[in-house]
Amino acid sequence: MEYYHDHKFIVVIPSKTVNWNGNHKIANTNKNTIIVPEEIEKLLAYFRQGNFKHYVIFRLFVETGMRKGELIKAKLSNVNFEYRYIKIDAGKTGLKYYEFTKEFSEKLRLWVKTREQLKVKYDNLFLTKAFKPYSTRSFNLILNIACKKIGIEKTITTHTFRRSINTHRKKLKKCPNEVCKRLLGHKTIDVNEASYTIYDFEDLVSLYDQYNPYDNLTL
């Protein structure tokens, strides 16, 4: 603190909040990280061989790019096999539909049948071993263990799948930006469920198949 008599003002230097030694920390972030197709194959193969529920969960992340909070809240009744989508009505941006591949439909249908046999009070699509909804931290912990097991050194989170499918759609399939937003559930127009028609669902699933960047992978 210094006091200047001529100008009558005080300059206060906040010693506890300013780093004077020059050792500035760089934020540790993975916002620019994507998972490449070869790593996706490797990761899903790991889950497929070890835990069917985890395989279904992470294949949904891979194919849809949905947020972890959305997947946690997804209900059994939200799955539609005719038009291959999971409806999300309690997410960050309201109502949206996430499509999945025809090939994955068979495995997801098998999981739904298994899940329906559980007589529990929760109707979530996925539950923990204790038959309760997952926490928001659970999936990233599972991912961290899996990545270490198979030798993926980069930091992969559930949001990485969302960023990756958007990136690969643009780079590998030349997907227009507005279509990318639509397939990721971004709210580009003001819609509600009543405004959707059969044509809308047919159009969505057609666009999904056309711009699927993982169509040549073994998932």
**Percent of the chain as helix, strand, coil, to the nearest 5:** 45, 10, 45
Q: How far apart are CA 166 and CA 183, in angstroms?
A: 9
Of 118, 127, 30, the C-alpha closest to 71 is 127
CB atoms within 10 A of CB 47: 20
- More confident position, 2 or 92: 92
**33-80: pLDDT as tens digits:** 999 999 999 999 999 998 999 999 999 999 999 999 999 999 999 999
**101-160: pLDDT as tens digits:** 999 999 999 999 999 999 899 999 999 999 999 999 999 999 999 999 999 999 999 999
**148-175: pLDDT as tens digits:** 999 999 999 999 999 999 999 999 999 9
Q: How far apart are CA 202 and CA 6, in angstroms?
A: 77
2-11, 99-108, 185-194: which has the highest mean pLDDT?
A: 99-108
Residue showing tokens 């291959």: 84
Structural domain boundaries in the chain: 37-210
Residue showing tokens 């799948």: 161
Q: At 112, list the tokens.
A: 């739904």
Residue 23: pLDDT band (50, 70, 90) is low
Residue 6 pLDDT > 90, yes or no? Answer: no
User: Within 51-134, where are the H helices?
Assistant: 52-64, 68-73, 102-116
The answer, as to whether pTM is greater than 0.95, is: no
Q: Which CATH architecture has domain 37-210?
A: Orthogonal Bundle (1.10)
Residue 8 confidence (pLDDT): 54
